[in-house]
């Protein structure tokens, strides 16, 4: 029995719609290594069906797609430009980032890229992603990130960087629209720039060798905080987060767990598996805490000093304006007196 192209296309549509469900969304909410291994191994039946039949018409109407890097190579041989006008959520596994140039994705809102687990030499060139103007959520896993152009993605509301060798967060400074940020397996990361991301409500910093939380103090809108698998000793700085309702701080070295009792808004918190800090870790944590406290004091003093300077400048400006007004009045009086004297002289000459 001969199968028509239309029947093959319909079959592909059915297979594709069956696989493109909640699996991808569920995977994005988990960030441990077990998830990544599972994530890489999943090449769904719909993708394989499209590969076998070399028919991409079923991509036209889908909204979510999970694609393997090998599939991209075949796509390029079949259709130079892939038009998926309704696609909102794209997951690419073991991918060649340059292949993104072959997609026309006008409605794409979520892009999730996972590089090869064995070869992490790939660099994500963010300028290849800027073309997706409606992109809101970007997930980059197991790849180097071109941080120099990351700052151009100002429309993002969500960002996940998993083992991307990120050290300097200066590129995140312009991303003021972020409401969720997830940093995992990025060792010794500098968090000072995060103070500008005050719209954040969800923050994950896991397995980043985080020691001190004081750099997060300006993020007063945080509602969910995940800081497990770090080297945190003192958790009391998070008490400034009045809206914080969910906390995951497992596998740290926290000594002041009693501080959590002072926070009444928690709906859930996880503090199990706390390790005993070594003397060196404790000494380093105390030193870091003291330094951060001094920085906070100096910052407040600097702010007060700046306010005082501003007040002095405003006062000086007012005094200058008042003196100028008095000078103008005196000039007017002198002018009037000169005019009056001239009139008197003319009157005397007339007599």
CA pair distance 288, 295, nearest whole angstrom: 10
Q: Is the pLDDT of residue 219 over 90?
A: yes
What span, in angstroms and rounded, lies between the C-alpha atoms of 52 and 55? 8
**pLDDT tens-place string over residues 99-112:** 566 667 788 888 88
Tokens of 327: 């000078």
Mean pLDDT over each residue of the chain, to the nearest integer: 74
> Residue 94: exposed, middle, or buried by beta-carbon count in 10 A (0-12, 13-18, 19+)?
buried
Q: Where are the domains of the chain?
A: 5-278, 279-351
pLDDT in tens, 252-275: 988 888 777 676 677 777 888 777
Please, which pLDDT band fits residue 346 given cuts at 50, 70 and 90?
Answer: confident
- CATH (residue range 5-278): 3.80.10.10
More confident residue, 43 or 346: 346
Query: CA distances (Å), 221 to each of 147, 201, 218, 235, 285, in order?
Result: 26, 6, 9, 17, 26
**pLDDT digit string (tens) for 169-184?**
888 999 999 999 999 9
SS3 of 95, please?
Answer: coil
Instruction: Enter the tokens of residue 220.
Output: 């007063």
Q: Rounded to two decimals, what is the model's pTM?
A: 0.66
The reported pLDDT for the residue numbered 335 is: 85
> Cα dist. 130→91, 122, 135 in Å?
17, 18, 8
């Amino acid at each position: 029995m001969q199968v028509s192209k239309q029947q093959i296309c319909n079959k592909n549509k059915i297979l594709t719609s069956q696989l493109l469900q909640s699996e991808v969304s569920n995977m994005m909410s988990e960030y441990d290594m077990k998830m990544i291994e599972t994530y890489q191994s999943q090449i769904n039946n719909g993708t394989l069906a499209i590969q076998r039949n070399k028919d991409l018409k079923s991509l036209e109407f889908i909204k979510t797609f999970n694609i393997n890097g090998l599939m991209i190579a075949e796509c390029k041989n079949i259709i130079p430009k892939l038009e998926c006008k309704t696609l909102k959520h794209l997951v690419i596994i073991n991918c060649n980032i340059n292949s993104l140039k072959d997609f026309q994705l006008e409605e794409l809102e979520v892009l999730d890229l996972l590089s090869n687990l064995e070869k992490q030499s790939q660099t994500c060139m963010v300028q290849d992603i800027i073309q997706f103007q409606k992109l809101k959520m970007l997930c980059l896993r197991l790849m180097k990130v071109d941080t120099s152009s990351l700052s151009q993605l100002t429309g993002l509301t969500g960002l996940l960087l998993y083992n991307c060798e990120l050290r300097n967060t200066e590129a995140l400074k312009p991303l003021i629209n972020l409401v969720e940020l997830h940093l995992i397996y990025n060792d010794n990361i500098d968090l000072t720039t995060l103070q500008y991301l005050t719209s954040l409500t969800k923050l994950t910093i896991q397995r980043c060798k985080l020691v001190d939380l004081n750099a997060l103090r300006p993020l007063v809108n945080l509602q969910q905080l995940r800081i497990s698998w770090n080297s945190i000793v003192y958790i009391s700085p998070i008490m400034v987060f009045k809206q914080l309702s969910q906390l995951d701080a497992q596998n740290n070295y926290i000594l002041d767990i009693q501080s959590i009792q002072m926070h009444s808004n928690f709906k859930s918190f996880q503090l199990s598996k706390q390790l005993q800090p070594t003397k060196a870790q404790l000494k380093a944590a105390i030193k870091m805490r003291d330094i951060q406290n001094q920085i906070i004091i100096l910052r407040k003093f600097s702010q007060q000093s700046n306010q005082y300077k501003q007040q002095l400048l405003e006062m000086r400006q007012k005094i200058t304006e008042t003196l100028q007004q008095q000078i103008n009045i005196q000039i007017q009086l002198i002018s009037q007196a000169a005019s009056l004297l001239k009139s008197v002289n003319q009157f005397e000459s007339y007599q």
